[in-house]
C-alpha cells in the first residue's frame, strides 16, 4: 500500500490549479453533514473542483491509489451520506455552481451540481418557469445533493420528488470515465434508464457533474388554509377527507403540538398552542380553481373537527406560512440536541403511524416533535434531549430503531426522502429483502469494482 501523501502529490501534480484543502481545521469542517448522531471520519483532503475534467481526474487518481472519495454538496443531508470517511478524499461540488442554460422551448434547465436549489428556482421564475422540487432546506442545499438523495419536500404531493424533474445527467464513473444519460426530449426509451439509477444513489455509483432538469410553467398565486385540530385523529381524518374530495393541493403539511410551541416560542406567531395538530394546505391553481380547491380542503377540515380554520389569499402571507413550516426543525434544535427521523407509510396508515410515534416516545421517555409531509404519508418525528445527556441519547437510539420497524411493519419505509446514507444501512435488507440487496450489490460492483465511491453508504461494506 502506498503512503497516503502519494495521492496528495499526484493530485497536486496532475490537476494543476485544483483547490485542495489539507489543513486539519479545514478538513474538520467537512467531517459531518447534518446527521449529528453519526460518528464520521476525518477526510484526508477536501477537493473543490471547478469542472467535470477536474472531477474525472480526481476520481482517476483516487482509483489508482485505491483511496475512496465522498461526493458532497452543501452537507445538509440527514443520513451521513456526505460525511467524511477516514482517509478518503471528499469532493465538494460547491464551486461548480453555474446555471448553464435555461431552455424555455423544451422546458429544461442545464445546471452544474453545486447550484443552490433556491437560486435555480429564482432564475427560472424570471423566465416565467418553475422548478418544482422544494425541500425545506431549499435555501442552502444543492441540486447535486438533491439528485444524490432524490430529495422530497413540500410540493411532492402534487409535483413528485426530485426524480420526476431529472431528465438527464452527466456522471463521472468510478474509473474516471464520463457518461451522459437521458436528454431533453419528453420521450426516450433507448436502453436502461441510467438517469434514474443515478438519482438517489447518494454518490455510490457515480458523481453527477451536470444535470438537465425539467421545468414547468410558473404556478399561480398561492391560497392557503391553516387548520388547528383538537386531536391527531381529527387531523389525520382531515387529510383523508381532503384527498378523498378529489383535490390535489400543492402542499399538505402537519405540525404537532410540541412543534407548534417550539415555532411559536421562537417567532411569537400567536399560533393556537392548545391544538394537538396543525395542517397547512396550499393551492397554486389560481383564480376560481384555487378557490374551489381551498374550499374543499376547508370543508374537509371542518367536517373532521377542526377547532379553527384560517384562510389566506395574500401570496406574501402564504409564503410566510410555508416559511413557518420550514422553520420546524430549526425551532426544535433550539431546545437541545435533535435527531430528525424520516419514516413514511401509505396514507391509509397515517393515523396508525402517528399513534405509534406517541407510544414509542412515551415508552422510551423521550421528547418528540412530529411534523412533515403528511400528504405524502412522510413524517419527521424529531427527538429532542438535553445536550450531553447520554442516557437520553441512548433511549432515543432505541426509540428510532422501533420507529423504523413500526413504519416497515405498516408497509412503509424507514426513510421517505433523507436516504439510507451511513445511518440506516443496517436495516436496508430488513426492508428490501436480502435478494434485492444482493442485486444492488451486483450493480455497485459492476460500476465500482474497487468500491471507491462513497463506500459503506446505502449498502453495507462487503
Ligand X SMILES: Cc1cc2nc3c(=O)[nH]c(=O)nc-3n(C[C@H](O)[C@H](O)[C@H](O)COP(=O)(O)OP(=O)(O)OC[C@H]3O[C@@H](n4cnc5c(N)ncnc54)[C@H](O)[C@@H]3O)c2cc1C
DSSP character at residue 2: -
Helix axis angle, 52-65 to 4-14, nearest 10°: 150
CB-nearest residue to ligand X: 145
Nearest to 83 by CA among 55, 41, 142: 41
Stretch that binds ligand X, among 144-152, 224-232, 363-371, 381-389 (CB under 6 A): 144-152
CB of 180 to ligand X, least distance (A): 14
Stretch that binds ligand X, among 68-76, 225-233, 235-243, 254-262 (CB under 6 A): 68-76
Cβ neighbours of residue 16 closer than 8 Å, sequence gap 6 or more: none
Residue 84 binds ligand X (CB under 6 A)? no
Which of residues 11 and 91 has its CB atom nearest to ligand X in the complex?
91
Coil, helix or strand at residue 285:
coil
CB of 229 to ligand X, least distance (A): 22
Stretch that binds ligand X, among 70-78, 283-291, 314-322, 349-357 (CB under 6 A): 70-78
Q: Give the bridge partners for 21, in sequence order.
A: 46
CB of 367 to ligand X, least distance (A): 19
Judged on CB neighbours under 10 Å (0-12, 13-18, 19+), 391 is exposed
Judged on CB neighbours under 10 Å (0-12, 13-18, 19+), 1 is exposed
Stretch that binds ligand X, among 228-236, 237-245, 414-422, 426-434 (CB under 6 A): 414-422
Which of residues 74 and 285 has its CB atom nearest to ligand X in the complex?
74
Nearest to 292 by CA among 248, 240, 237: 248
CB of 254 to ligand X, least distance (A): 13
Residue 382 binds ligand X (CB under 6 A)? no
CB of 457 to ligand X, least distance (A): 6
Q: Which residue is listed with cell 438519482?
A: 199
Cβ neighbours of residue 67 closer than 8 Å, sequence gap 6 or more: 4, 7, 44, 87, 88, 89, 452
Residue 141 binds ligand X (CB under 6 A)? yes
Is the Cα torsion angle 37, 38, 42, 43 positive or negative in sign? negative
Interface mask toward ligand X for 216-255; x: CB under 6 A: ----------------------------------------
CA end-to-end distance (rounded Å), the chain: 20
Residue 454 binds ligand X (CB under 6 A)? yes
Render the burial of 339-365: b for 16+ CB within 10 Å, e for the rest: bbbbbbbebebbbbbbebbeebbeebe
Interface mask toward ligand X for 423-452; x: CB under 6 A: ------------------------------
Kind and range of the H or E element at 443? helix 434-447
The answer to whether 107 touches 218, Cβ cutoff 8 Å, is no
As a whole number of angstroms, the distance between CA 202 and CA 47 comes to 18
Stretch that binds ligand X, among 65-73, 242-250, 268-276, 431-439 (CB under 6 A): 65-73
As a whole number of angstroms, the distance between CA 310 and CA 319 comes to 15
CB of 80 to ligand X, least distance (A): 8
Q: Which three cell numbers stand for residue 19?
A: 483547490
Candidate residues 151, 167, 279, 297; the one interacting with ligand X per rule CB under 6 A: 151
Q: Which residue is listed with cell 418525528?
A: 381
Candidate residues 159, 228, 229, 329; the one interacting with ligand X per rule CB under 6 A: 329
As a whole number of angstroms, the distance between CA 156 and CA 284 comes to 13
Residue 375 binds ligand X (CB under 6 A)? no
Candidate residues 52, 181, 202, 223; the one interacting with ligand X per rule CB under 6 A: 202
Candidate residues 7, 11, 34, 400; the one interacting with ligand X per rule CB under 6 A: 34
Which of residues 89 and 306 has its CB atom nearest to ligand X in the complex?
89
Kind and range of the H or E element at 438? helix 434-447
Which of residues 329 and 404 has its CB atom nearest to ligand X in the complex?
329
Residue 145 binds ligand X (CB under 6 A)? yes
Judged on CB neighbours under 10 Å (0-12, 13-18, 19+), 270 is exposed
Number of residues that bind ligand X (CB under 6 A): 39
Stretch that binds ligand X, among 73-81, 268-276, 397-405, 444-452 (CB under 6 A): 73-81
Stretch that binds ligand X, among 146-154, 247-255, 256-264, 275-283 (CB under 6 A): 146-154
CB of 147 to ligand X, least distance (A): 7
Q: Tell me which residues in 165-194 interact with ligand X (CB under 6 A).
A: none
The residue ranges that bind ligand X (CB under 6 A) are 33-34, 70-78, 81-82, 93, 113, 135-137, 141-142, 144-146, 148-149, 151-153, 202-203, 207-208, 329-330, 417-418, 421, 454, 457
Amino acid at each position: 500500500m502506498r503512503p497516503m501523501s502519494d495521492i496528495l502529490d499526484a493530485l497536486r501534480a496532475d490537476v494543476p490549479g485544483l483547490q485542495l484543502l489539507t489543513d486539519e481545521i479545514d478538513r474538520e469542517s467537512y467531517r459531518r453533514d447534518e446527521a449529528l448522531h453519526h460518528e464520521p471520519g476525518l477526510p484526508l483532503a477536501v477537493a473543490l473542483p471547478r469542472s467535470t475534467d477536474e472531477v474525472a481526474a480526481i476520481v482517476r487518481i483516487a482509483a489508482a491509489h485505491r483511496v475512496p472519495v465522498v461526493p458532497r454538496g452543501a452537507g445538509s443531508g440527514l443520513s451521513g451520506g456526505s460525511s467524511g470517511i477516514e482517509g478518503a478524499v471528499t469532493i465538494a461540488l460547491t464551486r461548480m455552481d453555474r446555471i448553464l442554460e435555461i431552455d424555455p422551448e423544451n422546458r429544461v434547465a442545464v445546471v452544474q451540481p453545486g447550484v443552490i436549489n433556491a437560486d435555480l428556482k429564482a432564475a427560472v421564475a424570471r423566465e416565467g418557469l418553475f422548478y418544482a422540487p422544494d425541500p425545506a432546506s431549499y435555501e442552502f442545499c444543492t441540486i447535486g445533493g438533491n439528485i444524490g438523495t432524490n430529495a422530497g419536500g413540500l410540493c411532492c404531493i402534487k409535483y413528485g420528488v426530485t426524480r420526476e424533474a431529472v431528465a438527464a445527467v452527466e456522471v463521472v464513473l468510478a474509473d474516471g470515465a464520463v457518461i451522459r444519460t437521458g436528454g431533453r426530449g419528453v420521450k426516450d426509451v433507448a436502453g436502461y434508464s441510467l438517469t434514474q439509477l443515478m438519482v438517489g444513489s447518494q454518490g455510490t455509483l457515480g458523481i453527477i457533474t451536470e444535470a438537465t432538469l425539467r421545468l414547468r410553467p410558473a404556478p399561480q398565486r398561492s391560497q392557503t388554509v391553516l387548520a388547528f385540530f383538537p386531536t391527531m385523529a381529527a387531523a389525520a381524518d382531515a387529510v383523508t377527507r381532503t384527498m378523498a374530495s378529489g383535490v390535489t393541493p400543492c402542499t399538505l403539511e402537519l405540525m404537532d403540538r410540541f412543534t407548534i410551541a417550539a415555532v411559536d416560542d421562537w417567532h411569537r406567531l400567536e399560533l393556537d398552542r392548545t391544538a394537538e395538530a396543525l395542517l397547512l394546505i396550499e393551492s397554486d391553481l389560481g383564480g376560481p380553481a384555487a378557490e374551489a380547491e381551498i374550499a374543499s380542503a376547508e370543508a374537509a377540515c371542518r367536517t373532521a373537527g377542526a377547532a379553527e380554520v384560517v384562510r389566506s389569499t395574500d401570496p406574501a402571507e402564504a409564503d410566510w406560512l410555508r416559511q413557518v413550516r420550514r422553520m420546524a426543525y430549526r425551532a426544535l434544535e433550539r431546545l437541545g440536541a435533535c435527531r430528525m427521523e424520516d419514516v413514511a407509510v401509505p396514507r391509509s396508515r397515517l393515523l396508525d403511524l402517528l399513534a405509534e410515534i406517541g407510544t414509542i416516545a412515551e415508552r422510551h421517555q423521550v421528547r418528540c416533535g412530529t411534523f412533515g409531509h403528511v400528504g405524502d404519508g412522510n413524517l419527521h418525528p424529531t427527538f429532542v434531549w438535553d445536550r450531553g445527556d447520554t442516557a437520553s441519547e441512548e433511549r432515543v437510539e432505541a426509540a428510532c430503531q422501533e420507529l423504523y420497524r413500526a413504519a416497515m411493519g405498516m408497509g412503509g419505509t424507514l426513510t421517505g426522502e433523507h436516504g439510507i446514507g451511513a445511518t440506516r444501512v443496517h436495516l436496508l435488507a430488513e426492508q428490501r429483502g436480502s435478494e434485492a440487496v444482493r442485486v444492488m450489490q451486483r450493480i455497485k460492483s459492476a460500476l465500482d469494482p474497487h468500491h471507491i465511491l462513497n463506500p459503506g453508504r446505502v449498502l453495507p461494506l462487503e
